[in-house]
A and B are shown apart, each in its own frame.
Chain A
Amino acid sequence: MIRDKSIVYGGLILYKAVAELKAEAARTYLSFLWWVLEPLMTMAIFYLVFGLFLQSGRKDFVPFLLIGLIFWNGFSNTVLHGASALLDNGPLMLQTYIPKWVFPLIVVVMDGIKFALVFVLLLLYLWLYGFRPTWSYLALIPLLGIWMTWTVAATLLAAALVPFLPDLRLLIASLLQLMFFASGVFFAADAIPESYRAWFYANPMAALITAFRAVLMEGTWPMWSNLWPVVLESGGLLVVAVLMLWRWDRLYPKLIGG
């Protein structure tokens, strides 16, 4: 019975994610080209500001910056969209019963598909730039797994909390901005004084971005010791978020519609 239901909701998540993406593409003239153009434009702006105007002097700064940006944006976009996931579906959940974890997961699939596209482009760029694939690429499998768990956990948590206080959406946007500057997107961990570095790595995105750079640019294995805390944080957060969505499953329609 439970397996039966998960298949039904799994199908719904995939179908609705693809449908929403199609609708999004249908709304613009360049349609799904925007999935590539938009991140390219963001990256171009960052390259102008941090790569040209504020010369960092770091060797290979462009690939360094792009790796940081792509993983950051993938995370941040998903969380921001997830924060509205339940609010946006108010009318729907007042007409039929759907478990509420379905809605943020639709967002995760949508942004996941867009991320996958940009990630492939990143790999192509890195190879053209001269960073060849190495055996350390195998580490990408667990790394992407941890990154996704962390992203899903934060997205579900945002979705679970916002209906209680819609103002939280604004707070989450500010929080993400703060976190962006603390995640080492345009600087490396060695720019942080030794005594603060443990704090720096306590931020899952900082630890993950550092690890992705080690694999993609240096061809080395990531420092696993920095990643265990991320696994624990993500796992813990995921459990909390799922419990909240489950506990208040039939309360959300009243908060949002009613």
Chain B
Amino acid sequence: MRRLVLEIRGAGVRYRQPRTWRHRSQRWALREVNLELYHGESLALVGGNGAGKSTLLKLIAGIFAPDRGRVINHGVSVSLLALQLGFIPYLSGRDNIFLSGLLLGLRYKEIARRLESIVEFAELAHCIDDPVRTYSTGMQMRLGFSIAIQIEPDVLLVDEVLGVGDAAFHRKSSQALREKILAHDKTVVLVSHQKETIKELCNRAAWMDQGTIRAAGPVDEILALYEANGGTPS
């Protein structure tokens, strides 16, 4: 029997922003979403731009509260894979590892223990004490990824980013993330447009459209349904 870790019941999320006193905007990014997440599964979210995929991830992560409906968390930790979280360019790579790690919810001791492997993975041992603003974009991405991959939530949420950097590091980083996703006790929700990636990594998929989940089920079926309705996973 699969264990339910998180359920969403009739949830809606509305963005309401007072632009100026003359213009107000209000938009339901999620209308009515019902979803159950089971321990150890990897769920792919597919759908066009503006379908509500990222908003749903933020709802699952507990960043947003639903404006209607409910999110019931059965005692699991949930985190979004966030790259370069809270980086301060004027500080050294080392300082940013601690800062970003603490923001991701890691403990100081834990970060200190993993420091060496983080630096090594990012291939930045030669300049880890230089300010991050002196790094190239690729180096910053490598550092950001190496820290982000350290988190160990019960439910990992991934929004499109599967690998970063040049060809070589892209291979290495996506390999590390794949291993994490495929770990059997890890629950993952993955937003992706890449058909092959979804087929490789996920055992269930949900098709989102206009703020609702139109269908959920086996990956092949859902991808076929999504394509039949004009969706274009590459």
Q: A: which residues have CB within 8 A of B? A: 8, 11-12, 15-16, 19-20, 22-23, 26-27, 92-98, 164-165, 249-251, 253-255, 258
Q: How far, in Å, is A31 (CB) from chain B's closest CB?
A: 11
Q: Report B-chain residues with C-beta under 8 Å of the C-beta of A250.
A: 62-65
Q: Which of B16, B82, B90 is close to A23, meaning CB atoms less than 8 Å apart?
A: B90
Query: Which of A23, A95, A164, A254 has its CB near the most chain B CB atoms (within 10 A)?
Result: A95
Classify the interface of chain A: helix, strand, loop or mixed: helix
Per the bound structure, the CA–CA distance linking A118 and B166 in Å amounts to 49
Q: Report A-chain residues with C-beta under 8 Å of the C-beta of B193.
A: none
Q: Which of A19, A23, A95, A249 is close to B85, meaning CB atoms less than 8 Å apart?
A: A95
Per the bound structure, the CA–CA distance linking A173 and B64 in Å amounts to 30
The answer to whether residues A26 and B131 also contact, given A15-B102, A19-B88 and a CB cut-off of 8 A, is: yes
Q: Report A-chain residues with C-beta under 8 Å of the C-beta of B99.
A: 15-16, 19
Q: Report A-chain residues with C-beta under 8 Å of the C-beta of B18.
A: 164-165
Flag if A15 contacts B108 (CB, 8 Å): yes
Q: Report A-chain residues with C-beta under 8 Å of the C-beta of B16.
A: 254-255
Interface residues of B in 4-32 (CB under 8 A from A): 13, 15-18
Q: Can you give 30 contacting A-B residue pairs, CB < 8 Å? A: A8-B102, A11-B102, A11-B107, A11-B108, A12-B102, A12-B103, A15-B108, A16-B99, A19-B91, A19-B99, A20-B88, A22-B91, A27-B90, A92-B103, A93-B63, A94-B58, A94-B63, A95-B82, A96-B63, A96-B80, A96-B104, A249-B65, A250-B63, A253-B58, A253-B64, A254-B15, A254-B64, A255-B16, A255-B17, A258-B15
B233 CB-CB contact with A under 8 Å: no
Q: Report B-chain residues with C-beta under 8 Å of the C-beta of A92.
A: 85-86, 103
Q: Report B-chain residues with C-beta under 8 Å of the C-beta of A26.
A: 90-91, 131
Per the bound structure, the CA–CA distance linking A16 and B85 in Å amounts to 12
B138 CB-CB contact with A under 8 Å: no
Q: Report B-chain residues with C-beta under 8 Å of the C-beta of A165.
A: 18
Question: Which 8 pairs of residues, A with B, have the shortest CB-CB distance?
Answer: A250-B65, A95-B82, A23-B90, A26-B90, A258-B15, A12-B102, A23-B88, A97-B62
Query: Which of A8, A96, A250 has its CB near the most chain B CB atoms (within 10 A)?
Result: A96
* Known A8-B107, A96-B63; 4 more pairs at CB < 8 Å: A15-B102, A96-B61, A96-B85, A255-B16
Q: Report B-chain residues with C-beta under 8 Å of the C-beta of A15.
A: 98-99, 102, 108
Flag if A23 contacts B91 (CB, 8 Å): yes
B154 CB-CB contact with A under 8 Å: no
Q: Nearest A residue to B62 by beta-carbon distance?
A: A97
Per the bound structure, the CA–CA distance linking A255 and B86 in Å amounts to 19
Per the bound structure, the CA–CA distance linking A27 and B88 in Å amounts to 12
B50 CB-CB contact with A under 8 Å: no
Q: Which of A11, A20, A96, A253 is close to B82, meaning CB atoms less than 8 Å apart?
A: A96
B79 CB-CB contact with A under 8 Å: yes
Per the bound structure, the CA–CA distance linking A27 and B133 in Å amounts to 12
Flag if A97 contacts B63 (CB, 8 Å): yes
Per the bound structure, the CA–CA distance linking A94 and B65 in Å amounts to 12
Q: How far, in Å, is B57 (CB) from chain A's closest CB?
A: 10
B105 CB-CB contact with A under 8 Å: yes
Flag if B63 contacts A16 (CB, 8 Å): no
Per the bound structure, the CA–CA distance linking A164 and B98 in Å amounts to 32
Q: Report B-chain residues with C-beta under 8 Å of the C-beta of A249.
A: 65
Per the bound structure, the CA–CA distance linking A190 and B91 in Å amounts to 50
Q: Nearest A residue to B59 by beta-carbon distance?
A: A250
B209 CB-CB contact with A under 8 Å: no
Per the bound structure, the CA–CA distance linking A23 and B108 in Å amounts to 20
Q: Report A-chain residues with C-beta under 8 Å of the C-beta of B123.
A: none
